[in-house]
Structure 1
Amino acid sequence: MLTDREPALKRELSLVEVTLTGVGSILGAGIYVLVGKAAGLAGNLVWLSFLFAGTAASLSALSYMELASMYPRAGAEYEFVRRAFGEKVGLLVGLLIIYVVVITASAVALGFGGYYSSLFGAGILEGAIGVLLLLGFVMFYGIKESARLAILITLIEFSGLLIIIYIGIPFLGTVNYFEMTSFSGVFEASALIFFAFLGFEDIVRLAQETKDPEKTTPKALILAIFTTVILYVCVAVVAVSVLNYRTLGVSAAPLAEIATVVLGDKAFVLLSWIALFSTVNTVLVVMLGGSRIIYGMAASGSLPNILSRIHPSRGTPWISILGVVGLSILFVFLRDIATVANISNFMIFIVFIMVNLSLIKLRYTEPEKRRPFRVPLSIGKFPIPPALGALSALFLFTQLSAMVMAYGFALVGVGFVLVFLKTRKKNKTLKQA
Structure 2
Amino acid sequence: MSQQQVTLKRALGFWQAYATAVGLVVAGTTMVSLGYSMGLVGPAFIVSAGIALLISIAISFSYAELASMMPGAGMIGEYTVHAMGRFMAVFAVLGGYIVLVSAAGAMESIVAGFSAKEMFSGIQPFAFAVFLLVLFLVVNLLGVEVFGRIQLVLTLAMMITTSVMGIMGLLQIGTVAAPQAPAFNPAGWSQVGQALALGMWLYIGIEYVCPMSEEVIQPEKNIPRAMILGLITIFIADMLFGEAIVRYVGLEKLVSSEVPQLVGAKAMLGTVGLYWMGFVTILASASSIDSHLAAIPRMLYGLARDGMLPRVFAWLHPRFRTPWAGIFVVFVCLFIPLLFKIDITVISTLILAACITWLFSYIIAQLDVIILRKKYPTMKRPFKTPIYPIPQIVGIVASVYMIVTIHPDPDMKRKIYLLAGAFTLAVVLYAVLWIKLKMKESLFEPQPLKDHMAQNLEGPSGSSMGV
- Return the TM-score normalized by structure 2: 0.85
Partner of 2:16 in structure 1?
Answer: 17
Distance 2:419 2:197 in 1: 16
The answer to whether residue 70 in structure 2 is matched with residue 98 in structure 1 is no
Distance 1:218 1:170 in 2: 34
Q: Residue 202 of structure 2 aligns to a residue in which SS?
A: helix
Distance 1:180 1:213 in 2: 43
Write the letter of the residue equivalent to 2:367: L
Indicate conservation of the 8 Å contact 1:192/1:338, yes or no: no
The answer to whether residue 203 in structure 2 is matched with residue 197 in structure 1 is yes
CA positional deviation for 1:156: 2.0
Partner of 1:135 in structure 2?
Answer: 136
- Unaligned runs of 5+ residues in structure 1 are none
1:306-353 Cα shifts (integer Å, max 9, x gaps):
011100111111111111101221123355353343233212211111
CA positional deviation for 1:43: 3.3
Q: Which of 340, 351, 363 in structure 2 is aligned with 1:341?
A: 351
Q: Cα RMSD between the aligned structures?
A: 2.1
CA positional deviation for 1:129: 2.2
Indicate conservation of the 8 Å contact 1:187/1:396, yes or no: no
Indicate conservation of the 8 Å contact 1:69/1:213, yes or no: yes
CA positional deviation for 1:182: 5.8
Q: Residue 200 of structure 2 aligns to a residue in which SS?
A: helix
CA positional deviation for 1:405: 1.9
The answer to whether residue 318 in structure 2 is matched with residue 318 in structure 1 is no
TM alignment of 1:223-242, pairs within 5 A: 223-242=229-248
Indicate conservation of the 8 Å contact 1:192/1:341, yes or no: no
Write the letter of the residue equivalent to 1:347: T
Indicate conservation of the 8 Å contact 2:73/2:213, yes or no: yes
Indicate conservation of the 8 Å contact 2:106/2:334, yes or no: yes
Write the letter of the residue equivalent to 2:145: K
Partner of 2:109 in structure 1?
Answer: 109
| Runs of 4+ more than 6 Å apart | none
CA positional deviation for 1:216: 1.9
Partner of 2:421 in structure 1?
Answer: 409
1:52-110 Cα shifts (integer Å, max 9, x gaps):
22222111101111111111111111112221111111111111121123333211111
Q: Residue 201 of structure 1 aligns to a residue in which SS?
A: helix
Distance 1:71 1:304 in 2: 22
Write the letter of the residue equivalent to 1:180: A
Task: Indicate the percent of aligned positions where both proteins have the same amino acid.
Answer: 23
CA positional deviation for 1:173: 8.4
Distance 1:67 1:428 in 2: 27
Change beyond 3 A, Cα 1:102–1:290? farther
Indicate conservation of the 8 Å contact 1:191/1:345, yes or no: no
TM alignment of 1:268-279, pairs within 5 A: 268-279=274-285
Q: Residue 264 of structure 1 aligns to a residue in which SS?
A: helix
TM alignment of 1:29-44, pairs within 5 A: 29-44=28-43
Partner of 2:432 in structure 1?
Answer: 420
Aligned residues: 423
Write the letter of the residue equivalent to 1:157: M
1:242-266 Cα shifts (integer Å, max 9, x gaps):
3222221112222222222222223
- Unaligned runs of 5+ residues in structure 2 are 173-178, 408-412, 443-467
Partner of 1:219 in structure 2?
Answer: 225
Distance 1:70 1:228 in 2: 27
116-125 vs 200-209, which moves further: 116-125
Distance 1:404 1:145 in 2: 38
Partner of 2:82 in structure 1?
Answer: 83
Distance 2:40 2:268 in 1: 24
Change beyond 3 A, Cα 1:4–1:266? closer
TM alignment of 1:22-421, pairs within 5 A: 22-96=21-95, 97-118=97-118, 119=120, 121-170=122-171, 174-180=181-187, 183=190, 185-332=191-338, 333=340, 336=344, 337-378=347-388, 383-401=389-407, 402=413, 403-421=415-433
Write the letter of the residue equivalent to 2:314: S
Write the letter of the residue equivalent to 1:44: P
Q: Residue 133 of structure 1 aligns to a residue in which SS?
A: helix
Indicate conservation of the 8 Å contact 2:116/2:278, yes or no: no
1:245-298 Cα shifts (integer Å, max 9, x gaps):
222111222222222222222321222122112111111112211111111111
193-202 vs 13-22, which moves further: 193-202
Write the letter of the residue equivalent to 1:20: A
1:101-148 Cα shifts (integer Å, max 9, x gaps):
333321111112222333252332222222212211110011111111
Change beyond 3 A, Cα 1:44–1:229? closer
Change beyond 3 A, Cα 1:124–1:282? same
Distance 1:71 1:294 in 2: 16
Distance 1:400 1:265 in 2: 36
Distance 1:428 1:70 in 2: 28
CA positional deviation for 1:163: 3.0
CA positional deviation for 1:375: 0.7
252-261 vs 138-147, which moves further: 252-261
Change beyond 3 A, Cα 1:40–1:341? farther
- Return the TM-score normalized by structure 1: 0.92
Distance 1:246 1:351 in 2: 34
Distance 1:15 1:299 in 2: 26
Q: Residue 309 of structure 2 aligns to a residue in which SS?
A: coil
Distance 2:348 2:244 in 1: 22
Write the letter of the residue equivalent to 1:356: Q
Indicate conservation of the 8 Å contact 2:101/2:333, yes or no: no
